[in-house]
A and B are shown apart, each in its own frame.
Chain A
Amino acid sequence: MTNSWTDIKNTDLVIVMGGNAAEAHPCGFKWVTEAKHHRGAKLIVVDPRFTRTASVSDYYAPIRPGTDIAFLMGLIRYMIENDRVQWEYVKAFTNASFLVKEEFGWSDGLFTGYDEEKRDYDKSSWDYQIGPDGYMLTDPTLQHPRCVWNLLKAHVDVYTPEMVERITGTPQDRFLKIAEMIGECSSPTKTMTSMYALGWTQHSKGAQNIRGMAMLQLILGNIGVPGGGMNALRGHSNIQGLTDLGLMSNLIPGYLNIPTEKEPDWATYMKSRAFKPLLPGQTSYWQNYPKFMVSFMKSMWGEAAQKDNDWAYHYLPKLDVPAYDMLRMFELMDQGRVNLYFCQGFNPLLALANRNKNTSALSKLKMLVVMDPLETETARFWENHGAYNDVDTASIQTEVIQLPTSCFAEDEGALVNSGRWLQWHWKASDMPGQAKYDTWIMAQIFLRVRELYRKEGGAFPDPILNLTWDYADEHEPSPDELAREMNGRALADVYDLADKTKLLTAAGRQVKSFAELRDDGTTASGCWIYSGSYNEDGNNMARRDNSDPSGMGVYSNWTWSWPLNRRTLYNRASADLQGQPWDPSRPIIAWNGERWEGNDIPDISPTAKPGEVMPFIMNQEGVSRLFSRGMMRDGPFPTHMEPFESPVQNVFNDRMRGNPVARVFASDVEKMGTSDEFPFVATSYRLTEHFHYWTKHNKVNATLQPEFFVEISEQLAAEKGIERGGRVRVWSKRGEVWAKALVTKRIKPMICDGKTVHVVGIPLHWGFVGAAKKGWGPNSLTPFVGDANIETPEFKAFLVNIEPAVGEAVS
C-alpha cells in the first residue's frame, strides 16, 4: 500500500478491481464502510463475479477475467478525452513532458524491438531523449509529438468504449458510468483509492494491470494524497514482511538485489546502481544504495566484510537466471535437478500452478522438509487419498520430514501489514507437542552445517564460517535480538555528514534511522527500510498509542511503519507546487516557508523547497512515470494481452498468445488448452469463511463453508443440464476436479468479440487433510505460467470444461 488501511476512511471513491476486499480482507474493509458512512464515499466494484464486495457497492460492472488492461486504458482514454485530468499534478509530478526516443512505437499489439525467437524485447528504444547536459529533454507545454503525454494519448486511442466492451465484455453503459464517477476524482479536492490484490497479480501480465491503475491514479492526481493511492491488499498477515525481508531468490532485505553473474565484482554491481538524477536539482534517493548495501554486508559478516575485500561481495551468490522463482524451482525439480527442498510455511502442492506437475516434481526429490504449524497436503503428497490424491505411494521414494513450528499466537515478533506497519505481537499460548520456533529450527541447522564446514572444510566455507551469529543463546536467536539487528547499530561513532563534529550515534548504539547508515563500514543494518523500528527509543513496533490528533487516521504512535514511520508514501505529492495541500480540508503535510510539517513524516527532505524538488524521490527523474522506460519486460505502457488460455483471440494480433514475453517452459506448452476443447473461462478466488488452506483444520470454519464447490451462471447450468447443489466435473488440459454446483445469478454470461463467454468460479480452501470435507484446489486445473516480470502464476484466467457428474468421489 502507498497509504494505510486507516487512511481509506479519507477517500471519496473506492474502486475494488482485481480484488475482493470484503471477502478476502473483511477486517480492513471496515475502513471502506467507514468512508461510506462518514464521508459519503462511493464504492465501485469491477469483477467477473458479483462478489460480497459488490453486495455493498454503489455500482458494479462485470468484466471478463484477464482483460483489465483494456478496461484501464479505456478509462485513461476517457479521462484525456473528457479533460478529467489533474493538470497541475500531471505536468509537475509525472514524466508527461519528457521526450521519448523517435524509434519507440507500438503496432499489432507489440512494442518496438520484439524478437519472437527470444520471446523478448530489445528495450533500447523505450527510453527518454537525453540532452547534451546528460539530463532529459522535456516539453512542459506538452505539445511535442514525442512527449510522453502525446504518446500515451496515442497509445490509449484504440481503447474506445466500443473496444473496451468488445474485449472485456463490460457493457458500454456500465463502463461509461464508472468512467464518469472516476472522472470526478480529477478534482484536487476529490480522491479515489484503488484496492487490489491477487485478482490483478495472478495474471501473465499482472504487473501491467497494476501499472494501468497507477497511471490512472497519477492522471487524477491521486498518488500521495490522503484517501488515494495504490493499495495492494496483502493476502497473508505477514506477506508484506516476507517481501520486505527479501525472501525471494533475487532480493536482499530492503529491496536490494542479489547480484547476477554479469556483476562479478562490487564496482560492476554498484555501477548500475548509481542512480544519478535525470533532472537538475532532483533528489534520487537510491543514490544511498551503497550505504544500505554496505550496512547489510556488515550485518551479515561483521569483521569479515571490509572495504579492501569489497565488503565480502564474493560471499554473495550470483544469479545465473533472473530469479529462482517457484515455477522455475518446480520445473527444475520435475527435471530431477533438485535434491532437497525446504518448505517453510508454504503448501505448494495446493498453492502452485498445475498440481499434477507439483506431485511429479515432489516425487523426484530425495528429501522434502516441511516446516509448518499445521498438517499440510504437501507433507502428505505421497499418501493416497483416492480421487483426492491419487498417487502410487510405493513408487515415491522422497523422504519427507515434518518439523512442526509455532503459529502466530504461539510466538513473539512483528507482523507487517499491507500498510507497512510493523506490529509487534506477544505470545498468547505455548506451542503444542514437539513444535519448535522456526528460528530455533533454522539455528540448529545452521550450527550443524557450520560445524560440518569447520570439521571437513568444503568448497567455500567462508560465508558460513564468518556469518555473524552473536546471539545470547546461539541455539535460539530471540525476536528482540533479530529486530534490533534489522534496525542496525553504529559499529563506530557516527557523525553528521554535514557537520563532522556532531556525534549522531555513539559506537555500539542502535542507529536512529537509515539516515545514519554509512557506506564506510561504520554501521550495520540487516534491513535498511526497517531502520528506526527498534532504536534507542526502544521497540517502536510495540507502541500501542491509538491517539489520532489530526483525525486523519494517521495513528503515528501506533506501532511503526516503514520507512521512517511514514504512513503515506509520496505524501509530498499531496501538496501543490507552493507546498500547500491540494485539499485544505485533508492536509497531511504542508510547506511552512522553511520546512515541511504536518501529520505525517514528509516523504522528502524536510527542507527541500516545494517548487524545486519533486515528490517522487525514489525515481531518478524525481517525478512519477506514466512511461516506465525499459523497467518492465512487457512494455513501457500497459497493452492488452489475452491470458495464455483465452476464449477469444487478441484483437490486435491474432498470432499473439498470452503475454509475448512471459516465460513458458517447453514441457508446459503442450499442457495449454484451447477454447474449442475448453470453452469456459475459469477464475480462482478465496471465500471469507476460510483462510487459504489453514482454516479447513478448524471445525468452526469448516462448518461455515464445509465443501468444495464451483460457481456457474443459471445460463451455463441450463445449457449443461447442471442442477443447483448437483455434482459436476470440471477439467482442464492439466487435470480434473469434482465439486458441488452453486448456480447463481451473480455470474452472468458476457459477450466478448461477438462470442458468449461463460465464467466458472473456482474457490480454493479444500484439500485432503483437515476438518472440512475433502476436495480440491483450483491448482488441479491452472496453467504453469507466470507474470512476465515477477512470475506470479496465472490463476485468475484459464480455460476449463464442465459437465454434470454422478455419485460421490471415493476416498
Chain B
Amino acid sequence: MTIAPNMDSPRTATANPPTHPVPPNLGQAHVVRSSAGGPVAENPQPLTEVAKLIDVSKCIGCKACQSACIEWNDTQPEVGVNVGVYENPHDLTPEMFTLMRFTEYDNPDTGDFEWLIRKDGCMHCAEPGCLKACPAPGAIVQYSNGIVDFIHENCIGCGYCVSGCPFNIPRISQKTHVAQKCTLCSDRVAVGQGPACAKACPTHAITFGTKEDMTALAAERVEDLKSRGYDNAGLYDPAGVGGTHVMYVLHHNDKPQIYDGLPEDPKISDVVRNWKGPAKPVGIAAVGLAAIGAAAMALFHRGNSVSQEDEAEARELVQEELRGAPVERPHDKGSA
C-alpha cells in the first residue's frame, strides 16, 4: 500500500500505526450529510473514503480493542459480574462502544467445532439509518470520508437512531441523555492517527486505511481463507446500507448471522427510509415503539414535543408497514 504524498487520512493497514500528521480535518467543511436538515457544507471538501477492516479469522478475542476504546474515549464501564460467558460488559453500553462477541459454533458441514469471535460496534454505513432516523438537526453527521459521527451538543437523546440502525448499535446514556457509539475515532483520524482499537490490536485483525486498500487487503485474506478450506469466505460490506466503512472478513460470509446475529442483509427500515415531512420523527418513534417498546419510551428525557395523537397516528402507519415486512432485529436472541 502506497502512501500518498498528500494524505488526508491515516493508513494502518500494513503497520500499526504509521502516524502521519495531516492538517486537521473532519470539520463542518467535510460534512456531507446531517440529520434532520442540519447544516452540510456547501461544497464539501472531498476526503479519501476510509474503512476499518476487521479480519475475524485473525482475531483472537483478546479485547485489547475494548480496552483501547475505553481508554481513548475515557468511558467508565462498570466492573460487572460473570454470567457464564466471555462477553464483558454483556452488551454494548453507553460506556462501551465496541464489544467482542463470542459464539460457539458446531459446523454442520465439517463436523468441527469453531469459536467465532466478532468485534461488534458501529459499521459506519454509507447510508446510515441512524442519520436518516434522527429528528435532531445536526445531531448525526457524515463526513466525506464516510465516518458517521454523533454531535452530542445537538443530540436530544430520543433514541430514534437506535431504531434506525439495522445493526442495533447506538446506546442512550441515562446519565447524559445522549446517544453513544463508536466514532471510528474521528478525533484521531482527523489528525492522521488510526483508530485506537486498530492501534491496540496485537494480531492486525483490525486494520485501517482507505476503503480501496482495505477492500484489496480483504481480497488477499479471502484468498488465503479459501486455500484453507473456507470456501465461503468473503468480505462483509453489505449493499443494503450502501456498503459500510467498517467491514469484516468472515470465514463463513454465506452465514453472517452465525457470528452472533450479524444481519445477513441489513437494510434501513422502509419507514425510516421513506418517511417525509414534519411527522417524520413521530413515525420513527413508532418504529422504535414497535421494535423496542418501552425501552424507547423511557428515552424521552429531553422533553420531546411528541404528542399522544401524533404517536397514535404513527403507530397505525407503522403497523401497516410491519404487516408488510417485519422489522428485523439482529440481537433478539437470548444467548450470548
Is A33's CB under 8 angstroms from B61's CB? no
A55 to B80, CA, bound (A): 25
Q: Which of B61, B79, B85, B117 contacts A742 (CB 8 A)?
A: B85
Is B224's CB under 8 angstroms from A688's CB? no
A701 to B62, CA, bound (A): 11
- Which residues of A lie under 8 Å from residue B88 when comparing CB positions? 689, 703-706
Is B82's CB under 8 angstroms from A742's CB? yes
* Contact of A50 with B115 at beta-carbon distance under 8 Å, contacts A33-B204, A705-B88 already known: yes
- Which residues of A lie under 8 Å from residue B228 when comparing CB positions? 42, 58
A417 to B140, CA, bound (A): 47
A746 to B116, CA, bound (A): 12
Is A37's CB under 8 angstroms from B58's CB? yes
Q: Closest residue of chain A to B71, judged by CB?
A: A700
- Which residues of B lie under 8 Å from residue A42 when comparing CB positions? 228
Distance in Å from the Cβ of A201 to the closest Cβ of chain B? 22
Q: Which of A688, A706, A708 contacts B79 (CB 8 A)?
A: A706
Binds B, one of A23-31, A88-96, A274-282, A307-315: A23-31
Distance in Å from the Cβ of B70 to the closest Cβ of chain A? 5
Tell me if B81 counts as interface (CB < 8 A to partner A).
yes
- Which residues of A lie under 8 Å from residue B117 when comparing CB positions? 52, 55
Is B204's CB under 8 angstroms from A688's CB? no
* Contact of A703 with B203 at beta-carbon distance under 8 Å, contacts A688-B61, A688-B63 already known: no
- Which residues of A lie under 8 Å from residue B78 when comparing CB positions? 703
A700 to B62, CA, bound (A): 13
A709 to B87, CA, bound (A): 13
Q: Which of B80, B83, B113 contacts A745 (CB 8 A)?
A: B113
Is A52's CB under 8 angstroms from B63's CB? no
Tell me if A625 counts as interface (CB < 8 A to partner B).
no
* Contact of A29 with B202 at beta-carbon distance under 8 Å, contacts A55-B115, A724-B84 already known: yes
Q: Closest residue of chain A to B87, judged by CB?
A: A704
Tell me if A740 counts as interface (CB < 8 A to partner B).
yes
* Contact of A740 with B113 at beta-carbon distance under 8 Å, contacts A26-B64, A37-B58, A53-B60 already known: no
A742 to B115, CA, bound (A): 15
Range of interface residues on B (Cβ < 8 Å): 35 or more
Is B221's CB under 8 angstroms from A37's CB? yes
Is A29's CB under 8 angstroms from B84's CB? no
Tell me if B313 counts as interface (CB < 8 A to partner A).
no
Is A30's CB under 8 angstroms from B89's CB? no
- Which residues of B lie under 8 Å from residue A26 when comparing CB positions? 60, 62, 64, 202-203
A30-79: which residues lie under 8 A (CB-CB) from chain B? Answer: 30, 32-34, 36-37, 40, 42, 50, 52-56, 58, 60
Is B114's CB under 8 angstroms from A55's CB? yes
Tell me if A702 counts as interface (CB < 8 A to partner B).
yes
Q: Provide the B63-96 mask, 1 if CB < 8 A to any CB of A, else 0.
A: 1101100110000011111111110110000000
Tell me if B227 counts as interface (CB < 8 A to partner A).
yes
Range of interface residues on A (Cβ < 8 Å): 35 or more
- Which residues of A lie under 8 Å from residue B173 when comparing CB positions? none
A412-467: which residues lie under 8 A (CB-CB) from chain B? Answer: none
Tell me if A519 counts as interface (CB < 8 A to partner B).
no
Tell me if B57 counts as interface (CB < 8 A to partner A).
yes
A55 to B251, CA, bound (A): 12
Is A56's CB under 8 angstroms from B84's CB? no
Distance in Å from the Cβ of B100 to the closest Cβ of chain A? 9
Distance in Å from the Cβ of A90 to the closest Cβ of chain B? 31
A512 to B242, CA, bound (A): 63
Is B115's CB under 8 angstroms from A746's CB? yes
Q: Which of A30, A726, A740, A744 contacts B203 (CB 8 A)?
A: A30
Q: Which of B80, B89, B203 contacts A29 (CB 8 A)?
A: B203
Tell me if B59 counts as interface (CB < 8 A to partner A).
yes
Tell me if A573 counts as interface (CB < 8 A to partner B).
no
Is B82's CB under 8 angstroms from A708's CB? yes
Q: Closest residue of chain A to B96, judged by CB?
A: A703
- Which residues of A lie under 8 Å from residue B57 when comparing CB positions? 56
Is B82's CB under 8 angstroms from A700's CB? no
- Which residues of A lie under 8 Å from residue B89 when comparing CB positions? 703
Distance in Å from the Cβ of A545 to the closest Cβ of chain B? 16
Is A33's CB under 8 angstroms from B203's CB? yes
Is A40's CB under 8 angstroms from B227's CB? yes
Tell me if B254 counts as interface (CB < 8 A to partner A).
no
A30 to B14, CA, bound (A): 13
Is B63's CB under 8 angstroms from A704's CB? yes
Is B115's CB under 8 angstroms from A30's CB? no
A438 to B79, CA, bound (A): 32
Tell me if B104 counts as interface (CB < 8 A to partner A).
yes
- Which residues of A lie under 8 Å from residue B59 when comparing CB positions? 56
Tell me if A773 counts as interface (CB < 8 A to partner B).
yes
Is B224's CB under 8 angstroms from A36's CB? yes
Is B60's CB under 8 angstroms from A700's CB? no
By CB atoms of chain B within 10 A, which of A33, A34, A54, A745 has the most?
A: A33
A655 to B85, CA, bound (A): 42
Tell me if A741 counts as interface (CB < 8 A to partner B).
yes
- Which residues of A lie under 8 Å from residue B82 when comparing CB positions? 705-709, 725, 740, 742
* Contact of A740 with B79 at beta-carbon distance under 8 Å, contacts A30-B202, A40-B224 already known: no
Q: Provide the A737-754 mask, 1 if CB < 8 A to any CB of B, else 0.
A: 000111111100000000
Tell me if B316 counts as interface (CB < 8 A to partner A).
no
Tell me if B212 counts as interface (CB < 8 A to partner A).
no
- Which residues of B lie under 8 Å from residue A23 when comparing CB positions? 60, 62
Distance in Å from the Cβ of B22 to the closest Cβ of chain A? 24
Tell me if A699 counts as interface (CB < 8 A to partner B).
yes
- Which residues of A lie under 8 Å from residue B227 when comparing CB positions? 40
A680-726: which residues lie under 8 A (CB-CB) from chain B? Answer: 688-689, 699-709, 723-726
Tell me if B270 counts as interface (CB < 8 A to partner A).
no
By CB atoms of chain B within 10 A, which of A27, A37, A53, A60 has the most?
A: A37
A709 to B81, CA, bound (A): 10
A646-704: which residues lie under 8 A (CB-CB) from chain B? Answer: 688-689, 699-704
Distance in Å from the Cβ of A684 to the closest Cβ of chain B? 17
Q: Closest residue of chain A to B205, judged by CB?
A: A33
Distance in Å from the Cβ of B52 to the closest Cβ of chain A? 17
By CB atoms of chain A within 10 A, which of B58, B82, B117, B204 has the most?
A: B82
Is B83's CB under 8 angstroms from A725's CB? yes
Tell me if A142 counts as interface (CB < 8 A to partner B).
no
A53 to B77, CA, bound (A): 27
A699 to B227, CA, bound (A): 42
Tell me if A771 counts as interface (CB < 8 A to partner B).
yes
- Which residues of A lie under 8 Å from residue B104 when comparing CB positions? 744-746
By CB atoms of chain A within 10 A, which of B84, B85, B224 has the most?
A: B84
Q: Provide the B104-134 mask, 1 if CB < 8 A to any CB of A, else 0.
A: 1010000011111100000000000000000
By CB atoms of chain A within 10 A, which of B67, B112, B204 has the most?
A: B67
Is A703's CB under 8 angstroms from B70's CB? yes
- Which residues of A lie under 8 Å from residue B67 when comparing CB positions? 700-701, 704
Distance in Å from the Cβ of B3 to the closest Cβ of chain A? 17
A666 to B309, CA, bound (A): 83
Tell me if A361 counts as interface (CB < 8 A to partner B).
no
A688 to B57, CA, bound (A): 18
Q: Which of B71, B202, B221 contacts A27 (CB 8 A)?
A: B202
Is B79's CB under 8 angstroms from A699's CB? yes
A714 to B204, CA, bound (A): 33
Distance in Å from the Cβ of A54 to the closest Cβ of chain B? 7
Q: Please list 26 pairs of residues, one from A and one from B, whose beta carbons are closer than 8 Å in the complex, sorted by A's number.
A: A22-B62, A26-B60, A29-B60, A29-B203, A33-B204, A33-B205, A36-B224, A37-B224, A52-B115, A52-B117, A55-B117, A56-B57, A688-B61, A688-B62, A688-B63, A689-B62, A689-B63, A700-B67, A704-B63, A706-B88, A707-B81, A724-B83, A742-B84, A746-B113, A746-B115, A771-B79
Q: What is the interface of chain B, defined by CB distance below 8 A to chain A?
A: 57-64, 66-67, 70-71, 77-86, 88-89, 104, 106, 112-117, 202-205, 220-221, 224, 227-228
Closest A-B pairs by Cβ, 7 of them: A725-B84, A724-B84, A707-B82, A22-B60, A55-B115, A688-B62, A725-B83
Given contacts A26-B60, A29-B60, 8 further A-B contacts (CB under 8 A): A30-B202, A37-B221, A50-B115, A54-B115, A709-B82, A725-B84, A726-B84, A742-B82
